[in-house]
Amino acid sequence: MDEFNENVSMNTESKNERIKTGIEKLDWMLQGGFPTKSITLVSGTPGSGKTIMCFHYIKEGINQGEKCIYLSSDERVENIKRQATELGFDFQHAIDNGQLKFMYIDLDKTGIHKEMEMELRIGNYSRVVLDSLTPISEVPVWVSGIHEVIPSEGTDKTKDFPVGSIPTTRIHIKRIMSMINQANCTALVTSEVPEGSRSLSRDTISEFLVDGIILMDLDTTMDRRKLTVRKMRATKHTLKPQDITITEGGIQFL
Amino acid sequence: MDEFNENVSMNTESKNERIKTGIEKLDWMLQGGFPTKSITLVSGTPGSGKTIMCFHYIKEGINQGEKCIYLSSDERVENIKRQATELGFDFQHAIDNGQLKFMYIDLDKTGIHKEMEMELRIGNYSRVVLDSLTPISEVPVWVSGIHEVIPSEGTDKTKDFPVGSIPTTRIHIKRIMSMINQANCTALVTSEVPEGSRSLSRDTISEFLVDGIILMDLDTTMDRRKLTVRKMRATKHTLKPQDITITEGGIQFL
Amino acid sequence: MDEFNENVSMNTESKNERIKTGIEKLDWMLQGGFPTKSITLVSGTPGSGKTIMCFHYIKEGINQGEKCIYLSSDERVENIKRQATELGFDFQHAIDNGQLKFMYIDLDKTGIHKEMEMELRIGNYSRVVLDSLTPISEVPVWVSGIHEVIPSEGTDKTKDFPVGSIPTTRIHIKRIMSMINQANCTALVTSEVPEGSRSLSRDTISEFLVDGIILMDLDTTMDRRKLTVRKMRATKHTLKPQDITITEGGIQFL
Amino acid sequence: MDEFNENVSMNTESKNERIKTGIEKLDWMLQGGFPTKSITLVSGTPGSGKTIMCFHYIKEGINQGEKCIYLSSDERVENIKRQATELGFDFQHAIDNGQLKFMYIDLDKTGIHKEMEMELRIGNYSRVVLDSLTPISEVPVWVSGIHEVIPSEGTDKTKDFPVGSIPTTRIHIKRIMSMINQANCTALVTSEVPEGSRSLSRDTISEFLVDGIILMDLDTTMDRRKLTVRKMRATKHTLKPQDITITEGGIQFL
Amino acid sequence: MDEFNENVSMNTESKNERIKTGIEKLDWMLQGGFPTKSITLVSGTPGSGKTIMCFHYIKEGINQGEKCIYLSSDERVENIKRQATELGFDFQHAIDNGQLKFMYIDLDKTGIHKEMEMELRIGNYSRVVLDSLTPISEVPVWVSGIHEVIPSEGTDKTKDFPVGSIPTTRIHIKRIMSMINQANCTALVTSEVPEGSRSLSRDTISEFLVDGIILMDLDTTMDRRKLTVRKMRATKHTLKPQDITITEGGIQFL
Amino acid sequence: MDEFNENVSMNTESKNERIKTGIEKLDWMLQGGFPTKSITLVSGTPGSGKTIMCFHYIKEGINQGEKCIYLSSDERVENIKRQATELGFDFQHAIDNGQLKFMYIDLDKTGIHKEMEMELRIGNYSRVVLDSLTPISEVPVWVSGIHEVIPSEGTDKTKDFPVGSIPTTRIHIKRIMSMINQANCTALVTSEVPEGSRSLSRDTISEFLVDGIILMDLDTTMDRRKLTVRKMRATKHTLKPQDITITEGGIQFL
């Protein structure tokens, strides 16, 4: 890692409260951590380490005595816990004493948005992980009533937003982001990037609706893993991809 | 920055009134600033600095004693103000004394076009920021009655413009541009460019309907940020991407 | 500019009448100018100089005492005139004495095709500019009655041309070209090329329906503007992109 | 042109009758000309010289005393004749004495397939040009009755071929090719290739339904024009693009 | 051709019966020929030599005294025979004595699948050529009754497979492959690859449903033709593209 | 193969049970084999060796005395067995004594999901192969009842998930993965990658729903085959593509 912010002239820490990421070098890159009350998108291809980034974040929260929730779209919650354990993150104690909650967002059930919103409102969580945003944002929703009419001949016919269209997806994601914002927490939201795509999310919209973007990537030819801070509100940061490794204990900067 | 316009033979400042951009070097690049009564598209990928460009523009307006409005499609207006504050743009005083208005364009509400139009008509604003055009232009609208019929067998059946189609989007954006034009102001309009796209907007149409285009870009591999004046009416300018940095105080040319 | 046609063996000027383009070097490239009664497509990305090319063409017409019309799909006709003035093209006198007419093609109105056709038929124009073809060709039209049936079981059911489809767009553009042809004029028709596309028009069809194609392009990395004569009926011309600059006075060859 | 077939061991001219192309060097490349009764696709981007290739072909036919027809999808037949004249192909005498017929295929009219078929059947033409196939093949046609049913539960419901789909287009083009075949002629059929496409036709199907393919191309950067024999039935030919120029007198090999 | 399998340690010829391809060098590449009872896809762009590969295969069958059928989707069966004759493959004697049958699959007729199936079932063919699979697989078919329902609220509504969709095409091609399999023959099936595509068939599915894939390609810039054994069941083969030429007598390895 | 994990500091084998892959070098790469109870996606283009990887896996299971099932979407089960035999995998004994079951998933039949689920539930299999997931996941399914409504004007209209859409495919694949998970087995699931795609599956979703991803690839120009461990839960592994060969006896690392 080069000296990308050795001359940080910006005295933002006085203005911005920071919340530690759980990875020391990343805190240093981000001038102390994520801005509090921010939402950061963690984007990446399969196996790039998005979920492990979330484990660090949760672990740090537990260490700080904060209340945390891990919203998962993967029904195999036991699998996630096991994966965490395998990497040396032991969450069981925190789960037992109520400091950490794992919650499965069952896409097969009606009312998941209300359920999430309610949990976030009453849970008083300091740290929220949503892993991942992509399947939830894909659930077809129906939006109506906001269609502006530009009449040229006096008609006032209205149409629904097409299900699955860009504007519907945008409104849907905005709604999810809004839930998280109102929970007064700092959040990590993971996002799928299909292999071979240069986009920052499958939907190509999420990245415009968050405060920060961390891109996880891997280069099989060179056998390297990369972490790039693509955007972070109120933070002077390098744009340079950083070499990382995933080992016992999780993500390590090289 | 190279000496791209040292021999400016065009004496346009006498013919064209200019409005300062809030960034000294950019004013110099643009022969004094944006042409008055012009609309400039500020396009870029997430985190490229589009909103910060708008902060400079508004700040300059405040300094000049002009009346300004910041139309936002992001409901978290407090967030935008905080972001401005974090970067050293303090807008509170101007808001308090009525010189600056932040207005949230709620896509969930009917009538946003009328509301915007009314505000622009009565507000007597000198500077307008629309951040961003993309979600507003995506709101499905219904357009009818203008379909030309080329009959070959005497029928006169008409069809609606397909919602979300290129022509509907064009008419929609033209309508928004028209509102701004009639407000007798000089405007910055931000526009989303999906990562990996070479386009100048998500819709690929906006860039044909404005007086100027400024493209914000970032190159993570080289850890560089770029600003390119892609087009500016009545202005002799370089096309060369300029190196910039985003630091406390906003955008700085290198 | 290299000596691309110094050995022009083709004595076409005797057979072909030419109409000057308004740019001396371009006239020379085209063996005297555009072929009379031809339609030339001026294609390009935003800010590439398509409209300025038209200004030269109109200015030359005025100087030659010809009757000219500028059909615009941009409602801000004042804006176009101002832009011309800023570049040193003063059209006001020609407008006042009836030699030049600006006509706004309002896509929101029914009957624009008839209106254009009528104007062209009665106006007796020598030079026609249509700036730009793209939005007009996008207006949904309804075409019917020409569907050939290849029956295999004796049915004779017919279907309409799908609105917005390639064949409908082709018939629509052919119809517009036909209007211009019947006006007995020489025409420039501008066409949008989305940034990043290698196509010669947004519709990819127009370029097959014209006599000439001039491609305007810009290379921001190299800070260069290019003009390429891609096709010109009955004219031996170089295919090589020519370096141009846009300055006070309009397009200049380097 | 390199010596691509100097050692032609294939003594095909004895087996295959040939019909001269009208371009001497091309005849030599094709071992005497096009195979008689063959259909050759002449594909290319706008301005690549497809129509001029057809002029040579027709001119040769006239010189040989053969009966020729030029089927055009461009209503401006006068324009085509003028273009021919400008290039030094004078067809008027042949038209006057009935050796050459120009026929406009009006896409706006019903019954164009029948009309073409009838003309080809009764005209006894030796050489046929169809310029171009693309707009005709785009005319929506309705095909029915050939849908195979793979029932898994005993139903026998059938569906129409979707208008504009690949299979419908294929059947349509096959039908057109069939008309030409039954006319007992040798044909050139031009085909549009959109700029930037690597395909051999806009429809990507025609090239699989013909006996020969000649690709016309141009490279603006190098200011070069190319002609490639991509396929020719019963002919040993180079695949190498050949440099050509278009000058007074038409296509010349360099 | 390099020594790609000189150290073949695999003694598969004892286990696998082979059927000669008709091209000696290819037999050697494939350890004796195609595996008996296999289906090999011969894919390629237009003019790449797919049909000629089939001629070799049929000719070899005739020489071996095997019964052969050539299923063609090209109505011009005479044309195919002539093309074979021109290349030195004389099939007439075999046709006359009933050893070889040419059968035209008329896409305009209902019942082609049944007709093919019946012919294959009763014909007792040792070698089958299907030239080409692509148009047949494009014929819209209707498939029903296999839709699994994942009910979340007790409904059991079913939907048809969309005509022309990936799953319908897959089932269709599987059905055709199944016909061939049940005929107890060894088959070559040709497949169209559109120019510029890197796929192994137009449908992108066929290649997953066969035992072998031979890709025919041509490189016009280098004036070279290539044949690549992309896959062959139970055969150790090089993946390297082999240089070939097409001359009198058909395909020759260089 | 380079020394990619010689300094493995991660003592995961104590925490993770492993199941041997059947390929010694791969076991070594994966710190002992696949994690037990994991699902690994084996992705690749046609002929890349996906099925052979499964043969190794099954063979190892038989050797270990485990109960195995091979779910095939290819009706030609005899073909698969023969292919295994040809490569030296003799499964007949294991089939006869009930240790191995081949089961054909007939996409033409209703109820395949229930059938699979039942078989997996009652079979008590230790090793499951699903070859391949792609055609099964393409079977149109109907999903309903989970659509969240974001009402803005009080309506509560719901819509179905579109058949074949991304969210429907995701739910479908999740359902299949869920079946496998509940069977308490360790599974290999093969997945088609169309040639020329950089994706990890045709659907671009499967790879986000599994514990491990192995990518099989081939480079015809270099005549090389590659195997890449793209992801493996709880396993420190190289990302570097490994050179392999397919020979008698199956996959061998070079």
At B143-177, the pLDDT tens digits run 654 444 343 333 334 445 666 778 788 888 998 99
Question: Is-contact A229 A239, C-beta < 8 A?
Answer: yes
Please tell me the distance in Å from F229's CA to the nearest CA on chain E. 22
Question: Once rounded to an integer, what is the mean pLDDT over residues D101-124?
Answer: 89
Is the confidence at residue E157, as pLDDT, over 70? no
For F163, the closest of E159, E197, E204 (CB atoms) is: E159
Q: D234 with E86: CB under 8 angstroms?
A: yes
Q: How far is E59 from chain D (nearest CA, A)?
A: 18
Tell me, rounded to whole angstroms, the distance of Cα A160 from its chain centroid.
30
Report the C-alpha gap between A107 and A71 in whole angstroms: 12
E strand or H helix that includes residue C64: none
F158-170, pLDDT tens digit by residue? 445 666 778 788 8
Instruction: Check contact A-B (3+ Cβ pairs < 8 Å).
Output: yes
Nearest CA in chain A to B107: A146
Taking an 8 Å cut-off on Cβ atoms, the answer to whether A248 and F236 are in contact is yes
Residues pairing with A104 in the sheet:
A72
Give D146's contacts (C-beta < 8 A, 6+ positions apart).
Answer: C152, D161, E107, E108, E109, E110, E112, E139
| Cα–Cα distance measured from residue B142 to residue D197, given in angstroms and rounded to the nearest whole number | 34
Which residue in the block uniquely carries the two structure tokens 């195919």? E80
pLDDT per residue as tens digits for the range B179-208: 999 999 999 999 999 999 999 999 999 999
Query: If pLDDT is split at 50, 70 and 90, which confidence band does E148 have?
Result: very low
Instruction: Flag if A146 and B110 touch (Cβ within 8 Å).
Output: yes
Confidence label for A214 from pLDDT (cuts 50, 70 and 90) = very high
The per-residue pLDDT for range A113-137, each reduced to its tens digit, is: 889 999 999 999 999 999 999 999 8
Closest Cβ opposite residue B15 in set C86, C112, C246: C86
Question: Average pLDDT, whole number, for chain B?
Answer: 86
Return the partners of chain F (3 or more C-beta pairs < 8 Å): A, D, E
Do B225 and A231 lie within an 8 Å CB cutoff?
no
Higher pLDDT, E186 or C150: E186
Question: Under 8 Å CB-to-CB from A138, ≥6 apart: which residues?
Answer: A203, F166, F167, F170
Q: For residue A171, give the H/E element and its range.
A: helix A166-182
- Residues D26-80: tens digit of each pLDDT: 999 999 999 999 999 999 999 999 999 999 999 999 999 999 999 999 877 888 9
Model pTM score:
0.90
Q: What is the ipTM of this complex?
A: 0.88
Rounded-to-5 percentages of helix, strand, coil across chain A:
30, 25, 45
CB atoms near residue E81 (< 10 Å): 17
| HEC string for D202-245 | CCCCHHHCCCEEEEEEEECCCCEEEEEEEEECCCCCCCCCEEEE
Please count the other Cβ atoms lying within 10 Å of the Cβ belonging to residue C140: 21
What is the per-residue pLDDT for E144? 57
Q: Do C112 and B159 touch (CB under 8 A)?
A: no
User: Between chain A and chain B, how many beta carbons pairs sit less than 8 Å apart?
Assistant: 128
Contact B168, A148 (CB under 8 A): no
Measured distance CA(D110)–CA(D136) in Å, rounded: 12
What mean pLDDT, rounded, does chain C reach?
86
Predicted confidence (pLDDT) at residue A154 exceeds the cutoff of 50: no
pLDDT digits over D204-229, tens only? 999 999 999 999 999 998 999 999 99
pLDDT score at E153: 38
E2 CB-contact burial (10 Å; exposed 0-12 / middle 13-18 / buried 19+): exposed
- The tens digit of pLDDT for each residue in C48-59 reads 999 999 999 999
Residue F195 has its nearest CB partner, among E4, E200, E232, at E200
Determine the average pLDDT of the residues in E144-171. Answer: 56
Nearest C-alpha of chain B: how many angstroms from A74?
27
* Cis bond before residue A132 (omega within 30° of 0): yes
CB contact under 8 A, D142 and C149: yes
Angstroms from B147 CA to nearest CA on chain C: 6
Sign of CA dihedral C226, C227, C231, C237: negative
Query: Which chains, if any, share at least 3 CB pairs under 8 A with chain E?
Result: D, F
> What is d(CA E73, CA E136) in angstroms, rounded to the nearest whole number?
7
Helix (H) or strand (E) holding B40: strand B39-44
How would DSSP label each residue in B81-99? HHHHHHTT---HHHHHTTS
Tokens found for residue E244: 């070939």
* Residue % of chain E over a pLDDT of 70: 85
- The verdict on a CB contact (< 8 Å) between E83 and D233 is yes
List CB contacts (< 8 A) between E199 and chain F. Answer: 194-196
- Could you say which of F10, F159, F234 has the minimum Cβ distance to residue A163? F159
- Who wins on pLDDT, A247 or E108? A247
**Which token pair is C170?**
């082709």
Which residues make Cβ contacts (< 8 Å) with residue D150, sequence separation at least 6?
E113, E141, E142, E143, E171, E172, E175
Does the pLDDT at position C165 exceed 60? yes
Task: Give residue D120's pLDDT.
Answer: 96
pLDDT above 60 (res F95): yes
